[in-house]
Amino acid sequence: MKVAALQSVLYWQDAQKNRDYFSGLIADNGDADLIVLPEMFTSGFSMQAEAITEPADGPTLPWMQALAEKHDCAITGSVAVNDGARYVNRMYWVTPEDYTYYDKRHLFRMAGEHNHYHPGKSRKIVEFRGLRFCLQVCYDLRFPVFSRNRDDYDVLIYVANWPEPRRHAWSSLLTARAIENLSFVIGVNRVGEDGNGIPYSGDSAIIDFKGQPLASGRPHEPESLRATLDKDALMAFREKFPAMLDADAFTLNTD
């Protein structure tokens, strides 16, 4: 499967400008099977939920659907959404045929995200063209129990606005998640500076199931990372090194 991870700048709280920008990037990578955008890609990581959220049915969702159909690919990334009586950080997963979503479970307390958005409860696994994907958002990366592979996915995706001062944690944890879960990992982070003056270095990566990079983003530079995910190689390694058979059983309480 061909993957394109779009490490990009974001225009602060300007949804239309961001959609226009990503329309061009998606067209440039239209031969990919999967295109991954950053967290809150229509606004940047803003806590002004009342000002930036949009209804669950648009306008970003139909925009994603039209592009997924046009380029015959899956597109994913998160958007600030007003879901009736609550605000959520919603990661849409859109294919030419349908869509689903995952609402960010772990809200970033240090920025007050938990005071402005409602947490999701259940993780989301989706299947597309022979691979199974687990959808995660930014701060979820710090909580390995939530992302533990129960032999139910092949690829972990993290979309993020992860600030530059903690870039070492971002890169280290992406690699750890790949190794411990015997899974490909796609981590897509933004670059530039947001409306609060917070810098982002990107450091996006596509990593294989051994923790080896398939593609790495240049710090501070917008770019499209490209890689091919080889399911046969993944399955062969899991058969040779079935560490998941020795994993501890547990029950996850998300109440």
Vertex 228: Cα angle to 77 and 21 (nearest 5):
35
Lookup result for tokens 């995910």? 229
For residue 99, list its beta bridge partners.
Answer: 94
Residue whose C-alpha is closest to residue 76's, from 153, 145, 170, 156: 156
Could you give the residue ranges of the DSSP H alpha helices within the chain? 15-28, 49-52, 60-71, 167-181, 231-240
b/e for 59-75, b at 16 or more Cβ within 10 A?
A: ebbebbbebbeebebbb
Residue of 39, 73, 113, 134 marked active site: 39
- Distances in Å between the Cα of 187 and the Cα atoms of 38, 65, 120, 155 are 9, 22, 20, 11
Residue of 73, 104, 113, 134 marked active site: 104
124 is catalytic: no
Question: CA gyration radius for the chain?
Answer: 17
73 is catalytic: no
Return the SS3 of 65: helix
As a whole number of angstroms, the distance between CA 47 and CA 243 comes to: 40
> Using CA of residue 113, residue 171, residue 223, residue 146, what is the dihedral sign?
negative
Catalytic (active-site) positions: 39, 104, 138
